[in-house]
Amino acid sequence: MKVLVTGGLGYIGSHTCVELSKKYSVVIADNLINSKIEVLERLNSIAHSKVIFEKIDLRNKKEVAFLFEKHGDISGIIHFAALKAVGESVEKPLLYYENNINSLLNILEQVQQRNSKINFIFSSSCTVYGQPIKLPITEEEPVKKAFSPYGETKQICENILSASSKLNKYLRSISLRYFNPIGAHESAMIGELPLGKPQNLIPYITQSVAGVREKLTIFGDDYDTPDGTCIRDYIHVTDLADAHIKALEYLIEKEFSTNEVFNIGTGKGTSVLEIINAFESSTGKKISYKIGKRRKGDVDATYADNKKALKSLSWSPKYSLEQALESAWNWEKNYRKIK
């Protein structure tokens, strides 16, 4: 079975390709807007079967049509490709709407023209829940007004996919709402590779410990949490990758068209200060930090109720927080050739 992975050279996509390659033939479509071509070689050095790469800009209808013509035997699609920087999306909303929404529409237009079953997984995010009413967050939590154009594109894309699945009897789809993916493949050959200054906590920590960035600033310690710093649900990227395989298998078994959503998180909340302690104890490295102002748009606490995924997808996270943090550091060391 051939699976198309859009954005497969990115952080989560590359880890998912490694897991997919154990059983499926994998085609990546990526335009390298937020990834480097060197990831392909790294990925293929640990993949179980060779992954094919097509340099395609998914905003371009003609290129997408060419992709589907060339790989007409695709029966699964995992759609990771999107721009994902919340702050940038506030500054350049049109870029985000254009990229994230048109890419999905162009793919669905091709899917619509086929007369065979297609299994589709969309990368959504816990940002769709905004400030949660109840913790842990179940899939029943209402989707709230998005804080940013990025978050809004996730909501719109979920809706587009749902509408399309209702009309197309061949389409089976799932939106996976990720919590906070962290860490790297155990080989340390692939990992999170942000272009420019990392916006996320873990790559900022590993780069600051590696001496590439200034000391970490904790964005606020006056939140309504036990130690005052924000709480998130951090999940090892390999566990997240595995959730995609399980979701694909779930859809393959489905006889009729469907559209479902699943939370993918560990179910455990961890504060920024707890992350710092866990990183120091699992790697033996000290993190220098200072307390700064709150970052706009951050919610106090968010973590998943993952029971639906555990039950229906027969998926469960295997890695601990310490293992995830250690793998993130091993990747940083390997990439920068630090002893």
Interaction site with ligand NAD (CB under 6 A): 7, 9-13, 30-35, 56-59, 80-84, 99, 103, 123, 125, 178, 180-181
Does position 266 bind ligand UDP by CB under 6 A? no
Partner whose footprint covers residue 204, from ligand NAD, ligand UDP, none (CB < 5 to 8 Å by kind): ligand UDP
Residues contacting 125, CB < 8 A, separation 6+ = 151, 154, 177, 178
Does position 218 bind ligand UDP by CB under 6 A? yes
Does position 201 bind ligand UDP by CB under 6 A? yes
Q: How far is the CB of 30 from ligand UDP (least distance, A)?
A: 22
Size of the site for ligand UDP (CB under 6 A): 14
For residue 137, give the DSSP letter: B
Residue 30, phi then psi, degrees to nearest 5? -150, 145
Which residue, judged by CB position, is nearest to ligand UDP in the bound state? Answer: 230
Does position 276 bind ligand UDP by CB under 6 A? no
For ligand UDP, the closer CB: 99 or 180: 180
Q: Judging by beta carbons within 10 Å of its beta carbon (0-12, 13-18, 19+), is residue 274 exposed, middle or buried?
A: middle
Does position 102 bind ligand UDP by CB under 6 A? no
Packing angle between helix 149-167 and helix 102-112, nearest 10 degrees? 10
Q: Facing residues of 289 across strands?
A: 216
Peptide bond just before 194 cis, omega within 30 deg: no
Give dist(CA 83, CA 317) in Å, integer. 26
Partner whose footprint covers residue 104, from ligand NAD, ligand UDP, none (CB < 5 to 8 Å by kind): none
Q: Which residues bind ligand UDP (CB under 6 A)?
A: 180, 199-201, 204, 216-219, 230, 232, 272, 295, 298
